[in-house]
Amino acid sequence: MGMDLGRFIKSPDFEIRITTYRDIFQVEALEHDRFGEEYKKLSAAITMSKSDLGKMGLKSGDRVRLTSNSGSVVVEVKESKRDEPGGIAFMVNSPWSNAIISGETGGKGIPEFKNIAAKISLAKEEITPLEKLVPGMQA
Amino acid sequence: MVTCTGCALLCDDIEIVVENGRIKEIRNACRRGTSRMKGCVNRLIPSIYQKPSDIDSAIRKAAEILKSAKSPMLFGFSNSTCEAQVRGIGLARKLNAMIDDTSSFCQGMLIEKVLQKKFRTCSLEDARNRADVLIYWGSDAQDSQPRHLSRFSYFPRGESRQRGYEEDRIAIAIDVRESNTAKICKGHFYRIPLKGDREFILALIDALSGKVPSYDTKKILELAGILKKAEFGMVFAGIGLTYSIKEDTGVLLTLGDLLPNFHIMPMVGHYNMRGFNESLFRETGFVNRVKFNGNVIHEDKYSILEILKEKRTDALLVIGADPLLSLPGTVVKHLSAIPVICIDPCTTLTSKIAAVTIPCAVSGVESDGTAVRMDGEVIKLSKVVENNYASDEIILNRLMEAV
Ligand code: SF4
């Protein structure tokens, strides 16, 4: 417990780059129930290389806060099962990644879904619920 | 055999067993398609201002909202049949409305080039029968169009490719992420940095023109060697490539010129996005982002993104799309300030804030029609389950009569 508290007190911010992708299991969950737990579990997550996690003092299963100029969201961090060179973190397209994607398009109608600059830090809060991400939506 | 509407591959070899008006079993479809055809757990019900209503009242209310709006917009359509899309375009014309679809922030740019015949392209059957070099560029087909490699590209036997992947075909992945597709392209995965596609293309252009590429010289020369030897090459251009190069499609055209044996195919996700692009292109000369005002105006400012950001619509009809789920949070704020009309088989994030909701049939399961596969082939959809849900085409017809 004491050690855990220590992690939060220090919990520094790190700058990261995030890119989004699509995942068949998450799409399957979306078609079935976009308000369900499975969709949330597969969406509200960020995947990073082992070495990046190590550098930031994070471990798989930690909750992290991601903050960009456009918004902030709490998701679970996961270690990539692939041999990643590091430097980029990955999120599937979902309301959780959309919460931190800029609406800036240079007037061209396409947001930067694939290149998000954000800060990451260990979080105590629960994973941001869907209702909080969607303006005007009731549970 | 029925057609799956899980993605723009529109697999037409699906077997469905229906019992007591319900799907009991689905054969041959992938995970994504099975989930789509089985349908969602929460069907949409008709409602007005979030209170349950009946279809007739909901359609009347929707018509009233659209008629009284100064600047109405219609959006979605990538999950609608061609027939419904044509009605939607007609409705936009009648209302002097703006109309856009999901291709506007997806593959619209590349599909436009295909329809303008700026790229050399071919059918998926041509790819299956003849292709020997397959490049998945910024495309994770394994997750987005899961049967692409098994039905049309790497794995199948083809007329001039009897030995498929074992000897006759090379699959290459160019991506920032080692996707599930990249894993299959063993030994031919080229990892690029974020937004590195343009630089990669330029280096490849150098290598193909006999210059020494400045970037990753050894690997680029090796790749250029493979491409030059191709008898029938394919570039399956994914959303990763499109987002990265954006409107700079000129570099892709130049690359295409240097590879006369290659064909470019935009990888489409939603089952009938290309259908919408083709219908609108036929009627207006543009694939998306159109405003009707007696004439046709096409500008970037009529894209759904710009319209919502600049708060330039006062009533939005959304059909077969969920902008609250798929667009950046800062952009969709405006949706809670205007009346939204939502037509969909399922409850969506957007339907939860809509002024009017109108449930429709799941196309390809509960209603029939046609759709356009990612390569432009028109595919028939069938109705396999009988129930009372009206097709989106019927709903749009009724709206058209009521406005
Ligand atoms: S690949 Fe696409 S069309 Fe084919 S079964 Fe899967 S989801 Fe359906």
b/e map B12-35, b = 16+ CB within 10 Å? bebebeeeeeebeebebbbebbbb
CA distance A62 to chain B (A): 23
Q: Is residue B32 part of a domain?
A: no
Q: Is residue B18 part of a domain?
A: no
The verdict on B254 and B177 lying in the same domain is yes
**For position B18, what pLDDT does the model report?**
92
Chain B contact present for A1, CB below 8 A:
no
User: Do B128 and B156 touch, CB atoms closer than 8 A?
Assistant: yes
The verdict on B98 and B163 lying in the same domain is no
% of chain A with per-residue pLDDT over 90: 71
User: Span B353-378, mean pLDDT?
Assistant: 96
CB contact under 8 A, B195 and A115: yes
**For position A2, what pLDDT does the model report?**
47
Is A125's pLDDT higher than 70? Answer: yes
Number of domains chain B contains: 2
Is B306's pLDDT higher than 70? Answer: yes
CATH number for the domain including B350?
A: 3.40.50.740
Is B186's pLDDT higher than 90? Answer: no
Q: Is residue A84 part of a domain?
A: yes
Helix or strand (DSSP H, E) at B359: strand B356-359
Q: Is residue A1 part of a domain?
A: no
Confidence of residue A8 (pLDDT cuts 50, 70, 90): low
Written as one string, the DSSP assignment of B124-193 is HHHHHHH--EEEEES--HHHHSTTHHHHTSSSS-BTTBTTHHHHT-EEEEEESS--HHHHHSTT-EEE--
**Mean of pLDDT over chain B:** 94
Dihedral sign for Cα atoms in the order A38, A39, A40, A44: positive
Counting every residue written for chain A, the total comes to 139
Confidence of residue B56 (pLDDT cuts 50, 70, 90): very high
Alpha carbons B152 and B164: distance in angstroms, whole number = 10
The verdict on B209 and B248 lying in the same domain is yes
Q: Is residue B297 part of a domain?
A: yes
A49-79 per-position pLDDT tens digit:
999 999 999 999 999 999 999 999 999 999 9
CATH number for the domain including A52?
A: 2.40.40.20
Residue A4 neighbours by CB under 8 Å, 6+ apart:
none
Mean pLDDT lowest among B98-112, B157-171, B324-338, B384-398: B157-171
B241-275 per-position pLDDT tens digit:
988 888 788 898 899 999 999 999 999 999 999 99
Q: Is residue B277 part of a domain?
A: yes
User: Do A22 and B243 touch, CB atoms closer than 8 A?
Assistant: no
Alpha carbons B330 and B288: distance in angstroms, whole number = 22
B75-92 per-position pLDDT tens digit:
999 999 999 999 999 999
User: Span B199-223, mean pLDDT?
Assistant: 91
The verdict on B159 and B298 lying in the same domain is no
**For position B166, what pLDDT does the model report?**
77
Q: Is residue A82 part of a domain?
A: yes
Confidence of residue A1 (pLDDT cuts 50, 70, 90): very low
**For position A9, what pLDDT does the model report?**
63
Alpha carbons B156 and B211: distance in angstroms, whole number = 36
The answer, yes or no, to whether any atom of ligand 1 lies below 6 A from the CB of B33, is yes
The verdict on B125 and B186 lying in the same domain is yes
Written as one string, the DSSP assignment of chain A is -HHHHHHHHH---EEEEEEEE--HHHHHHHHH-TTSHHHHHHHSEEEE-HHHHHHTT--TT-EEEEE-SS-EEEEEEEE-SS---SS-EEEESSHHHHTTS----TTSS---TT-EEEEEEE--SPPPPHHHHSTT---
Q: Is residue A2 part of a domain?
A: no
Q: Is residue A16 part of a domain?
A: yes
Q: Is residue B36 part of a domain?
A: no
Is B387's pLDDT higher than 70? Answer: yes
CB contact under 8 A, A109 and B332: no
A76-97 per-position pLDDT tens digit:
999 998 878 888 999 999 999 9
- Closest Cβ–Cβ partner in A85, A88, A110 for B105: A110
User: Span B61-71, mean pLDDT?
Assistant: 98
User: How many other β-carbons are positioned within 10 Å of the β-carbon of residue A124?
Assistant: 12
Confidence of residue A134 (pLDDT cuts 50, 70, 90): confident
The verdict on B164 and B237 lying in the same domain is yes
From the CA of B36, give the closest atom in ligand 1. 7
Q: Is residue A62 part of a domain?
A: yes
CB contact under 8 A, B322 and A95: no
Number of domains chain A contains: 1
The verdict on B68 and B124 lying in the same domain is no
The verdict on B146 and B229 lying in the same domain is yes
Residue B394 neighbours by CB under 8 Å, 6+ apart:
none
Tell me whether residue B110 is exposed, middle or buried, using C-beta atoms within 10 angstroms of its C-beta: 0 to 12, 13 to 18, 19 or more.
buried
**For position A138, what pLDDT does the model report?**
59
The verdict on B93 and B113 lying in the same domain is no
Whole-structure pTM value: 0.94
The verdict on B55 and B166 lying in the same domain is no
B134-168 per-position pLDDT tens digit:
999 999 999 999 999 999 999 998 888 888 787 88
The verdict on B77 and B205 lying in the same domain is no
Q: Which of residues 45-64 of A touch B (CB under 8 A)?
A: none
User: Span B201-215, mean pLDDT?
Assistant: 91
Is B116's pLDDT higher than 50? Answer: yes
Considering only CB atoms, which chain A residues are within 8 Å of B178? 82-84
Range of the domain at B189: 108-266
CB contact under 8 A, B36 and A35: no
- Closest Cβ–Cβ partner in A34, A103, A113 for B243: A113
Chain B contact present for A136, CB below 8 A:
yes
B229-242 per-position pLDDT tens digit:
999 999 999 999 98
Is B301's pLDDT higher than 70? Answer: yes
Written as one string, the DSSP assignment of B26-67 is EES--HHHHHHHH--SSB---EETTEE--HHHHHHHHHHHHH
Considering only CB atoms, which chain B residues are within 8 Å of A111? 105, 305, 327-328, 331
Q: Is residue B215 part of a domain?
A: yes
CB contact under 8 A, B41 and A25: no
Q: Is residue B197 part of a domain?
A: yes
**For position B86, what pLDDT does the model report?**
98
The verdict on B74 and B156 lying in the same domain is no
